Amino acid sequence: MCISVLQLFYSFFKSLVGKDVVVELKNDLSICGTLHSVDQYLNIKLTDISVTDPEKYPHMLSVKNCFIRGSVVRYVQLPADEVDTQLLQDAARKEALQQKQ
Amino acid sequence: MYAALVLCMCISCKSTSLAVYFCEQIEHTLSPQGILGNCSKMADEVEQQTTTNTVEEPLDLIRLSLDERIYVKMRNDRELRGRLNAYDQHLNMILGDVEETVTTVEIDEETYEEIYKSTKRNIPMLFVRGDGVVLVAPPLRVG
């Protein structure tokens, strides 16, 4: 038996480090990049970024890496084949039960 | 009397320690509060089992929808329909095969009538941050 701090999504994002993702922010800006790191607040660091939606919003031509505060994220688009849905569902069930106690 | 060997980690300083706890019953849950206290106290109380399948609180209803298609209403007139793969207490979610619908209202300058437009897009796998979620429900049946 072990105690685990409830951090399903933190662990999930850690497993995606190195993969390409698209982060959509609450201000409608979409940033495509490689996931470099994540923390417990789901703050995200991306490297080699580019703005996905054509000319929609700031052109960050000179920006290569960025740090995104977790609270401004609306969505993160993930590669479907990198995600083990069965594992996620089992982990979510366990996390929900731990949260109740 | 059962003995449990437990590896504990302090959440703030991350230091670990091994500890031996003695319990009356083999199914006792070691809750964080229990670890700090004396485990023999728990033997007197009636403890919940580690796994319960009863639906007690709203989050349990969401648990029933895992691996099912759901409808999510979000802030800023957005709606999602997708397969629920994971969620947590903040309502952060991972949805698969999602269709996002964004609804906008345009007002005609001359007639002042409201024109509702919606834009849809499909995303194979999506993480949704919980602070934007307003409603979670089974998909709406049309007709």
Interface residue B64 vs chain A (CB under 8 A):
no
Cβ of residue B115 closer than 8 Å to a chain A Cβ: no
Question: In this complex, do A9 and B92 lie within 8 Å of one another by their Cβ atoms?
Answer: yes
Which of the residue ranges A19-28, A81-90, B52-61 would you say has the lowest mean pLDDT? B52-61
Q: Do B89 and A99 touch (CB under 8 A)?
A: yes
Residue, of B5 and B36, whose pLDDT is higher:
B5
**Alpha-carbon gap: B122 to the closest alpha carbon of chain A (Å):** 11
Of the candidates B55, B138, B125, B117, which has an alpha carbon nearest to the alpha carbon of residue B93?
B125
Tens of pLDDT, residue by residue over A28-71, are: 999 999 999 999 999 999 999 988 877 667 678 788 999 999 99
- On whether any CB of chain A is under 8 Å from the CB of B129, the answer is yes
Per CB-CB distance under 8 Å, the chain B contacts of A83 are 85, 94, 96, 125
Question: In chain A, what residues touch B67 (CB-CB under 8 Å)?
Answer: 85, 89
- For residue range A61-80, what is the model confidence (pLDDT) as tens digits? 788 999 999 999 999 999 99
| 0.95 surpassed by pTM | no
Summarised one tens digit per residue, pLDDT across range B33-50 is: 444 444 443 434 333 444
Q: Rank B4-18, B24-38, B41-55 by mean pLDDT and report only the highest.
A: B4-18
Q: CB–CB of A79/B76 below 8 Å?
A: no
Nearest-Å Rg of the Cα atoms of chain A is 15
Q: What is the mean pLDDT of residues B62-74?
A: 94
B63 interfacial to chain A (CB closer than 8 Å): yes
Tokens matching residue B73 = 């209403």
Long-range contacts of residues B130-135, Cβ cutoff 8 Å, at least 24 apart:
B130/B88, B130/B90, B130/B91, B130/B92, B130/B93, B131/A71, B131/B90, B132/A26, B132/A74, B132/B74, B132/B75, B132/B76, B132/B78, B133/B72, B133/B73, B133/B74, B133/B91, B133/B93, B134/B73, B134/B74, B134/B75, B135/B71, B135/B72, B135/B73
Within 36-55 of A, beta carbons closer than 8 Å to B belong to: 42
Interface contact A76-B32, CB threshold 8 A: no
**Res B8: pLDDT:** 72
